[in-house]
Each structure stands twice: as structure tokens, then as C-alpha cells.
Chain A
Amino acid sequence: MSITEILFWFLSVLALVSAIMVLISKNPVHSVLWLIATFFAISGHYILLNAQFIAIVNLIVYAGAIMVLFLFVIMLMNLDAAIEPKRSLWMKFAGVISGGLLLAVLLSVVRTSVDLNNKTAKLNTGEIGLIKNLGNTLFTKYAVPFEISSVLFLSAMVGAVVIGKRN
């Protein structure tokens, strides 16, 4: 087992355990923290796949900005473990089972698929993850979506302000 494989397995286990802890934690703040751990694991995966830009952006935007926002809101509402309302047992059961079913279906497809037999994801190589190439493609081939995404941000900002206004 080369070091990349070891890293792959380690990061996968970390991601899965953190995700499950997000679900299980009673305290919302704990959930946020576990989610941040998940994001770190996933960024590790990105670096393994040599998608450097995406890894950094993931950390900065997701773990840095979005999770902080979540924390602000949780602190604002003073949520703690005591307030967490209880769901009925059968709903939890049903939820877990349906999720499990979905997973089973997806995995069975993957296992029986013929197309994927000889494909692999190349680790540690490749140039497409480099910021130079990504930037190039982004500003030439995908220039229009880029501009539109700026409009999207504007509308999101306006929307958030309007919704949050106190009349």
C-alpha cells in the first residue's frame, strides 16, 4: 500500500466518522464543529486528487465563511442541547431505513456497472487542478456563467437584507 492509498483510506474514514457525528450530536455547536472536520477531510481528498484550487476554496468558503455564519446564527438563538426538540422514534427509523435503501440502490448500481470497470481517478498528477488552468478556462469558456454568478450574489445579498429587515 502506497502512501497515497493509506492517505485515501484515512481521509475517507475521517470524513465518514465526522459526518455521522454531525448527525448524532445533541448540541448544535458540536454538530457545526464536526461538519468543519468533515470539510477538512474532503479538502484533503481534493489535495490528493491534485485539485489544489478547489481544496483551498473549499476551506476558505465553506469551512471559513459558511460555517462561521452558521455558528453566528446558532449563538444568536442561544440554542443548546436542552432546547433540541425530539423527533418521534418511528420517523428516525423511517429516515434511516430510507436513506439506507437509497445507499443500497446506488451501490448496487455501481457494482454492476460495466462502464466503470477499468476507470480510475488519477491521483497526484494532472494539471487541471492548477489555478492557472482553472482560471484560464473560467474566464474564457465559462465567462458568461461567471458574470451571471455575480448577479446571483447580488440578488442573494439583496434578498437576505430584505428578509432580515425588521418592520
Chain B
Amino acid sequence: MPIQYYIALSATLFCIGIVGVLTRRNAIIIFMCIELMLNAVNLLFVAFSKMQPITTAGAGVATNNTALAGIDGQVFVFFIMVVAAAEVSVGLAIIVMMYRNTHSVDVNFLNRLKN
């Protein structure tokens, strides 16, 4: 598939995630949308790891012929997942604390930074 399709798909998922972060007031839903954004980025990385120029028939195109070219993209995805997992655990702990103190998960209550 031409790489533009993957980029478009990934960008759309990313923007849907942003709209979710901006629109929802429930802290947990916001967190989930962040995960969505991360996943969109993962998709893009994997697509780029497989990216290659289109080979025209017969002509010797200069492609990167090593078998493991582009593997960095997927390793990076692996690490993103690692970080996402760690982040989720800590973030949910914070949200539980917040619920314990205020009995609500409404983000608008967290306005200590006011003025």
C-alpha cells in the first residue's frame, strides 16, 4: 500500500485521540484516549519500518537490501509499549488517589493551578 495511506490512517487515529482528550471530562476516558494516540503512533512506526521504494520492473533500484533494515522501527514500538504499560500503572494509581480525595473523577475539579 502506498505509504500515504498508512500515514493518513495513523494521523486520523491520532487526531481522534486528541479530540477525545479535549472533549471528555472523565479522567479515565482521557487516559484511554491517550493510549489510543500511542497506538496510532505505534502503527505508524511499524509501517515506516516496512517502507521501501517501489521497485520498477527490471531496473536496479537502490534499495536497502539488508534483510534487517528498518528493524529499528519495531524495536522502538516495543519500547513504547513498555513505557505505556508503566505509565498506565502509575496514572491509574493517581486517579484512584484523586477519587479517594474528591469522590469524583471530574477533571474540572483539579483546578489548583488557577491564577
Chains A and B directly touch (beta carbon < 8 Å)? yes
Task: Report the separation of the CA atoms of residues A70 and B77 in the bound assembly, to the nearest whole angstrom.
Answer: 22
Structural contact, B12 and A16, CB atoms closer than 8 A: yes
Structural contact, A38 and B28, CB atoms closer than 8 A: no
Query: Of the candidates B51, B82, B93, which one forms a contact with A160 in the assembled complex, judged by CB atoms under 8 Å apart?
Result: B93
Task: Report the separation of the CA atoms of residues A153 and B18 in the bound assembly, to the nearest whole angstrom.
Answer: 27
Quick one: given A119-B3, A128-B49, A134-B71, are A100 and B22 in contact (CB under 8 Å)?
no
Between B7, B53, B72, B95, the greatest number of chain A beta carbons within 10 A of the residue's beta carbon is seen for B7
Interface assignment of B115: CB less than 8 Å from any CB of chain A: no
Interface of A is mostly: helix
Quick one: given A23-B16, A133-B68, are A49 and B26 in contact (CB under 8 Å)?
no
Structural contact, A50 and B8, CB atoms closer than 8 A: no
> For A116, what are the chain B residues with a Cβ–Cβ distance below 8 Å?
2-4, 7
Task: Report the separation of the CA atoms of residues A38 and B79 in the bound assembly, to the nearest whole angstrom.
Answer: 20
Number of interface residues of A (CB under 8 A): 85
Distance (whole angstroms) from the CB of A23 to the closest CB of chain B:
5
Distance (whole angstroms) from the CB of B47 to the closest CB of chain A:
5
Quick one: given A42-B42, A49-B46, A128-B74, are A23 and B89 in contact (CB under 8 Å)?
no
Task: Report the separation of the CA atoms of residues A121 and B9 in the bound assembly, to the nearest whole angstrom.
Answer: 13
> For A133, what are the chain B residues with a Cβ–Cβ distance below 8 Å?
67-68, 71
Structural contact, B86 and A120, CB atoms closer than 8 A: no
Structural contact, B68 and A70, CB atoms closer than 8 A: no
Task: Report the separation of the CA atoms of residues A50 and B52 in the bound assembly, to the nearest whole angstrom.
Answer: 14
Query: Of the candidates A39, A138, A141, A166, which one forms a contact with B78 in the assembled complex, judged by CB atoms under 8 Å apart?
Result: A138
| Chain A, residue nearest B83 (CB) | A152
- Besides A28-B26, A49-B50, 9 new A-B residue pairs in contact (Cβ under 8 A), listed by A number: A22-B32, A31-B32, A42-B42, A42-B43, A70-B88, A85-B106, A118-B53, A121-B6, A160-B90
